[in-house]
Structure 1
Amino acid sequence: MNLQVIMRDGMPEYAVLPWDEYQALLKAVGRPAAALADTGAPVALPRFSELSAMREAKGISQGDLARSVGISPAYLALIESGDRDPDEAIRRALARAMEITGWEQEA
């Protein structure tokens, strides 16, 4: 099972797992499959100003994320603080590293 545990103050707060694995768990305990309601509203993407909190929630250091993206920790700090807007290549790399679909298209 591919499970991500999100910690707060050193204690587990949330568990996140892929949708298909969640559906399989429901089936295994005899519950009906969950359905998503399509409201037609666009899904709001997280803002780059939220990057620091998301990175910390995943337990990734600023230096590690910067290295995986191919930028300096100082430049990543500027992006996280809102002082710099990442270009398209950096947005794609951040989207991959943080597993956030949609950032690569965001202007």
Structure 2
Amino acid sequence: MNQRFQSQPYKSLCLATIAFAISFASWGVIAGVAPLLKQELGLSATQVSLMVAIPVLLAALGRIPLGILTNRFGGRLVFSLLLILGIIPPVALALNHSYLSLLF
């Protein structure tokens, strides 16, 4: 184990927990704003269901390539890059103007 983290085992745990909470919150925000988006964009129940289901499906399928990348490059690097790239969907949600851009 890295000497730097061996002396402070809870530091890594706390940082990973905070990072996970932030990434999960940004992933789960779509369900929270779904009623507002339904009203604003005039969506049907089927469209709202698809909008809420896509992040869940992508998360489930994304674990496979992320697991492969983690084995190859290490967990810290992959998780850090995932958090950096994870800022794109919430920002895109704020700039959303149509149903198709929301699904993308």
For normalisation by structure 1, the TM-score amounts to 0.23
Q: Which has the higher contact order (CA 8 A, sep 6+)?
A: 2
For normalisation by structure 2, the TM-score amounts to 0.24
Is the strand fraction higher in 1 or 2? Answer: 1
Is the helix fraction higher in 1 or 2? Answer: 2
